[in-house]
Homo-oligomer: A and B are copies of this chain.
């Protein structure tokens, strides 16, 4: 199933991170609006090296982006569904077509190529069960390469973070 996806393109330069870089990342993961001066004060550094470290990590792709995190329930997208899919054909062409279509759906927040009985796990964010049904019928139902599908519903979110640095 490896031929379904491109092996990653490393156009960004590699970089070695020390403890101070890690500390900066941890703080920015929690609050990207923290100023360089605040970061410098917390790390007992001056502003210049902090600024340079951030710039390098941005350039190297360590920091992919700065994002506002929106609460789904506040914008009428309260239902999260995990949708497991296995394909009929796993060839490069058929798999690529599936990927292209799946990624174009805004309801699909995440699409992971996984081990086990299914090929993909989708995380779908919609308003309610009716909206998920519509998504299933009108979008997934239009795809011709799906062998099997299974929906797992998220009843409550115990933990959800973007932090990967620890």
Binding site for B on A (CB under 8 A): 1-2, 4-5, 8, 15, 17, 22, 25, 28-33, 60-75, 77, 80, 82, 99, 102-103, 106-116, 120-121, 125, 152-166
* Interface of chain A: mostly helix, strand, loop or mixed: mixed
- The complex places the Cα of A115 from the Cα of B111 at a distance, in Å, of 19
- The complex places the Cα of A98 from the Cα of B117 at a distance, in Å, of 28
A selection of 8 A-B contacts at a CB cut-off of 8 Å is: A62-B75, A63-B68, A67-B67, A70-B165, A103-B159, A106-B163, A110-B161, A120-B158
Q: Does B66 lie within 8 Å of A111, measured CB to CB?
A: no
| Chain B nearest Cβ from A111, distance in angstroms | 4
The residue that A158 contacts in the complex, of B17, B29, B66, B112, with Cβ under 8 A, is B112
Q: A68: nearest residue on chain B (CB-CB)?
A: B28
Which residues of chain B come closer than 8 Å to A69, judged between CB atoms?
Answer: 29, 63-67, 162
| Chain B nearest Cβ from A127, distance in angstroms | 11
The verdict on A29 contacting B103 (CB below 8 Å), with A75-B165, A125-B164, A161-B109 known, is no
- The complex places the Cα of A120 from the Cα of B111 at a distance, in Å, of 19
